[in-house]
Amino acid sequence: MSRGLRWWLPDVAMAAACVTLVYCLFLFHGTEQLFRDSDAGWHIRNGEAILASGTLPRTDPWSFTRAGQPWFAWEWLSDVVTGAIHRGFGLKGVALFYAAAIASCVWLWFRLHWALGGHFLIACAMAPLLLSTCNIHWLARPHVLSWLFLLWTMFPGDPSLLRAAALTAVWANVHPSFFFAALRGAGLRPARMLKLLAVVAAVPLLNPYGIRLYQHVWRYLADSELLARIGEFQSFDFHAAGAGQIIAAVILGLVGGTLALTQKRVYHFVVAVAVTAMALRSARALPLVALLLLPPANAAITRALSGYPAFLRYGANLRALDARFHGLALVPLVLLAVWKLMPPAGFPPAQFPVAAYSHIPAGARLFATDKYGGYLIYRSNGRMKVFFDGRSDLYGADFLRRYGRMMALRPGWREYFNSFGFTHALLPADAPIGAALEQSGWREIYRDRVSILLERPAARAANRPLPAGAFLECAVRNLLHPSVLKQNIGRIATPGVSGGVFQTRFGGEV
């Protein structure tokens, strides 16, 4: 076969990556669903601000509740890349970038199967589990880029110290999961492992915050009260529709780890137990089950099938044929074709106040939910200071607790609400606190099916107590609100379904 044909015919990894790219952007509706978490908004604007000023923000530039307080832009490099893409190509370019990153993860995931000795057919059978498990966290946020680095840590062999240092240095400025780089040292000789661990521990210091980044990440992850109030750190709802494939991925990961232990591959067993424990505790870690545990599980199952030589030979022959191609020349053509066919990108209008935004008066001191914060930062290009957004490490556990009590209309909510001097409130159309404010005299100035915009009444009306009957009505509405009834921390993100991964970013006991 000619060398030229090798570049144009895709292997199964490239074919799966291209299918994933098309699925993400067209069937999953990634041009909107990738932006269903409004944090994408402030990531983009932060990157653009860094490009414009040439410096990193040291204090909070986006809110009026934390203005001037120290802020760690710990994902600054990914923000800069995203901001640069947005400058040139808008949200459509950002959507293509993150969809291409997701597709690259699929390509690298197949390569990991081959590097570990996995069976060709088993890898193909596991691919749907990968997509179903990871798409609950397909978002235009830096964690998607961290998946590429995490896959690198699972490859066998002795890595170059220089390459490991370079990758870890970039990783530390892209996403705070850089401490997982230590996994790359597993299986090496003790002396070599110690050298690699020293490199990946020291190199992340090459970040704008130095040792303070380590301290900040540690304090954040050790703050159990804060994490308990963040939706994506709660357990996944395994009763949700479509959760069967995610459950299958978790089971396969554990089975593979157990088989690895019987085959004296203790490292893969320890990783399987640790990642599974993380995934059961936090929905955010579920994609790691599919990304990091399924390839070693395939390898362990393949070794366990040594008594079936015909099946193993068949898989080896398929892989030998597949290895004759790679199709890398198709990448720019596929990206160009997808770009031409993509619809316009934007935040989902069924979830965000896309229409209501233009009705917000200039200079309004706006109360808006956490879900809207990042969108408002994006839409106003940072000019509108927000009450709250997704930077939980900045706001802290006490703020989240008080916010939760206020949204649930718990005793004292009104005093806390009034302490901020809001002039307007932008809320989901069915938010119980919206009904409570209306009963208090707040005037509706805009409403649609998604959101409602309210204006503060005169001072005397603002201090008017809520009638007993109205309070009862608001309390009942709160109890019957879907987020209270379902407690659905991890909804499956499926094509055509609005909402996405998490109903709200912040929750927990209030």
pLDDT tens digit sequence for 116-162? 999 999 999 999 999 999 999 999 999 999 999 999 999 999 899 99
Reported confidence tier of residue 501, pLDDT bands at 50, 70, 90: very low
Q: By residue range, what is the domain housing residue 361?
A: 356-486
Classify residue 173: in a domain, yes or no. Answer: no
Whole-prediction pTM value?
0.90
182-191, 193-202, 434-443: which has the minimum mean pLDDT?
182-191
Q: Token digits for 428?
A: 């989901």
pLDDT of residue 25 exceeding 50: yes
Q: Pick from 102, 133, 350: which is nearest to 242 by CA?
A: 133
Confirm whether 440 is domain-assigned: yes
Judged by DSSP in three states, 206 sits in coil
Nearest to 259 by CA among 110, 122, 108: 122
- For 207-216, the pLDDT digits (tens) are 999 999 999 9
Q: Who contacts 17 (Cβ-Cβ below 8 Å, separation ≥6)? A: 103, 104, 106, 107
**Is 380 among the domain residues?**
yes
The count of domains in the chain is 1
Residue 81 in any domain: the answer is: no
Query: What would the pLDDT profile of 421-468 be if each residue is shown by its tens digit?
Result: 999 999 999 999 999 999 999 999 999 999 999 999 864 344 445 454
Res 486: pLDDT = 36
Query: Does residue 501 fall inside a structural domain?
Result: no
Average pLDDT value for residue range 403-410: 96
Q: Are 172 and 204 in contact (CB under 8 A)?
A: yes
Write b or e for each residue in 202-235: b if 16 or more Cβ atoms lie within 10 A of its Cβ, otherwise e. ebbeebebeeebbebbeeeeebeebbebbbbbbe
> What does the pLDDT average to over 70-93?
97
Say yes or no to pLDDT of 477 above 90.
no
Q: How far apart are CA 455 and CA 489, in angstroms?
A: 32
**Gap between the terminal Cα atoms of the chain:** 66
The answer as to whether 55 is a domain residue is no
Contacts 24+ apart (CB under 8 A), 155-161: 155/112, 155/115, 155/184, 156/115, 156/116, 156/187, 157/115, 158/188, 158/192, 159/184, 159/196, 161/195, 161/196, 161/199
378 within a domain of the structure (yes/no) = yes
Mean of the pLDDT values across residues 279-306?
Answer: 97
The verdict on residue 406 lying in a domain is yes
Across the chain, mean pLDDT equals 90
What mean pLDDT is predicted for residues 348-354? 97
Determine the pLDDT at residue 457: 87
Confidence label for 4 from pLDDT (cuts 50, 70 and 90)? confident
